């Protein structure tokens, strides 16, 4: 009898396994072709399991763990440790009456989550600081930083802290909690989704309306354009060159390098968030918005209401308020703001540059709060007219100044860049600069124009995508993928926030 032999039809199983295995040089990201094909297969199975709740949750959780394996290799077991430990601690915490025992349990959760974070992210940082105390030389330890560890530890911590505060009832199902923590669209770079927002959606019947589907496609198209067209192109072809050797370029070139990085990091991170929100919508789940045109801000306070909203609200609710917030007098409020932002800077990376970046933002928040109190402005006051224009320009340039420390890996690089801008500007090079990098400047102009356009324009585009038939939405997505192929570099550019 004739039998099908897969080796006879030319399937190279070694190559197939190598594609499916973890590759540290090619981590799984939304904008990669491999993910797009994998997601098509995932979506097919997902729809087949539409009415089988438990099987669907198991399938998505298993896929999410595979997604994390493709991003960080064997370290996916850390996700399991955090999930099981916090699920069990929250269950015991809810059944415990003794305040002392509840504190021990929540401290245990803090130690597990922050302990993992400190070991993988900050061991070499503290080792380098402490090495001179015992007269030893510093040799960096070979410690791999798992992708997204800052995000899923903070997300899991929000759950145990909410249970401890009595704001949330613990889950009875470990599967539901594993689904919540590992849900792949936001697993490796946020947004940090709160349990109280996401958990009620888990057991709802799967339903994706036409509006949700069209909105999801719009977010995916928007995010892919920001990341793969604007951010990656200006990064590879301009920004990296300036920041790698700021001393070789004039102050004008350095200044536009900073403007380029401000756009790059916004398009990169908000692009990821948009794609995560869009994919979640296609699967029947809603995430909160993570970015709201942050460079339209008229103050640093307003900036942090618009930039990485899921992190800024997390720091506010679980760190700033825990430190006392504004309940212990004005001086303590200013100190709490600065401490919160210093730790927020340290969250981004084990470097003094990040601490300086956080400290600058913390000091600016304290100054703005003081001035608002001095001028007796209400909490939600926003300037208008010409005053607002200058406030937005001032805030944008302060944020750009802080990005210098955020992007550079050394203080010397940051100081060199600042020195070039203020002492070797050479405005006469502007025409030559634009002529040499006209494609970069064109994309920067497009990026900033799209960012500063009225919100009503974006809402109109979203409504237009929703009204398109499925074929029209597919054509838009295929056209964008073709554009991405035309402008992308030879190597996949990982998302900036993968390193955090």
Active site residues: 348
CA dihedral of residues 408, 413, 417, 420 (deg, nearest 10): -170
The answer to whether residues 448 and 293 touch, using CB atoms and an 8 Å cutoff, is no
C-alpha dist (Å) from residue 434 to 35, 428, 442, 443, 473: 36, 11, 9, 12, 35
| Burial grade of 240 (CB within 10 A; 0-12, 13-18, 19 or more) | middle
Nearest CA-CA partner of 484 in 237, 273, 233, 214: 233
Rounded distance, CA 98 to CA 498, Å?
40
Indicate the SS3 state at residue 33: helix
What is the residue whose two structure tokens read 């500063």? 452
Q: Alpha helices, DSSP H only, in 283-351?
A: 300-306, 309-315, 330-348
Rounded distance, CA 164 to CA 179, Å?
21
Q: Which long-range contacts (CB under 8 A, 24 or more apart) does 359-364 make?
A: 360/401, 360/402, 360/405, 361/300, 361/304, 361/402, 362/337, 362/338, 363/338, 364/300, 364/398
Give 214-231 as a DSSP string.
Answer: HHHHHHHHHHHIIIIIII
DSSP state of 319: I
The answer to whether residues 214 and 277 touch, using CB atoms and an 8 Å cutoff, is no
């Amino acid at each position: 009898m004739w039998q099908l032999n897969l080796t006879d039809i030319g399937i190279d199983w070694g190559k197939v396994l190598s594609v499916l295995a973890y590759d540290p040089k090619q981590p799984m990201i939304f904008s990669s072709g491999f993910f797009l094909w994998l997601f098509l297969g995932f979506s097919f199975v997902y729809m087949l399991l539409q009415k089988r709740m438990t099987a669907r949750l198991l399938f998505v959780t298993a896929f999410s763990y595979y997604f994390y394996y493709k991003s960080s290799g064997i370290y996916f077991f850390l996700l399991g440790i955090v999930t099981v430990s916090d699920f069990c601690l929250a269950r015991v915490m809810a059944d415990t009456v003794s305040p002392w025992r509840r504190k021990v349990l929540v401290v245990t959760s803090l130690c597990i989550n922050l302990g993992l974070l400190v070991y993988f992210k900050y061991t070499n940082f503290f080792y380098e600081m402490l090495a001179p105390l015992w007269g030893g030389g510093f040799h960096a330890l070979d410690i791999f930083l798992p992708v997204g560890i800052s995000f899923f530890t903070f997300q899991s911590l929000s759950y145990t802290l909410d249970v401890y505060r009595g704001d949330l009832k613990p889950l009875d199902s470990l599967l539901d909690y594993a689904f919540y923590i590992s849900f792949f669209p936001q697993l490796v770079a946020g947004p940090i989704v709160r349990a109280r927002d996401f958990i009620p959606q888990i057991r709802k019947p799967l339903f994706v309306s036409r509006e949700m589907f069209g909105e999801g496609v719009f977010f995916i198209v928007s995010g892919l354009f920001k990341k793969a067209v604007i951010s990656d192109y200006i990064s590879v072809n301009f920004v990296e060159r300036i920041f790698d050797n700021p001393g070789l370029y004039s102050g004008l070139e350095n200044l536009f390098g900073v403007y380029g990085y401000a756009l790059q990091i916004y398009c990169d991170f908000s692009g990821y968030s948009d794609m995560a929100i869009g994919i979640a919508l296609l699967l029947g789940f809603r995430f909160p918005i993570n970015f709201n045109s942050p460079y339209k801000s008229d103050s640093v306070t307003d900036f942090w209401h618009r930039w990485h909203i899921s992190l800024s609200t997390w720091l506010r609710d679980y760190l700033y308020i825990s430190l006392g917030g504004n309940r212990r007098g004005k001086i303590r409020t200013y100190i709490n703001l600065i401490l919160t932002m210093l730790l927020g800077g340290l969250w981004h990376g084990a470097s003094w540059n990040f601490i300086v970046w956080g400290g600058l933002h913390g000091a600016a928040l304290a100054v703005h709060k003081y001035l608002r109190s001095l001028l007796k402005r209400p909490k939600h006051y926003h300037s208008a007219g010409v005053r607002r224009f200058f406030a937005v320009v001032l805030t944008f340039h302060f944020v750009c100044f802080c990005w210098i420390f955020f992007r550079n890996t050394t203080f010397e690089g940051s100081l060199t860049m600042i020195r070039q801008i203020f002492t070797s500007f050479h405005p006469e090079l502007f025409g030559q600069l634009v002529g040499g990098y006209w494609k970069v400047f064109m994309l920067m102009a497009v990026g900033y124009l799209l960012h500063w356009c009225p919100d009503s324009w974006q809402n109109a585009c979203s409504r237009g995508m929703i009204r398109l038939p499925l074929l029209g939405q597919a054509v838009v997505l295929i056209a964008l993928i073709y554009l991405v192929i035309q402008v992308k570099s030879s190597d996949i550019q990982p998302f900036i926030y993968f390193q955090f």
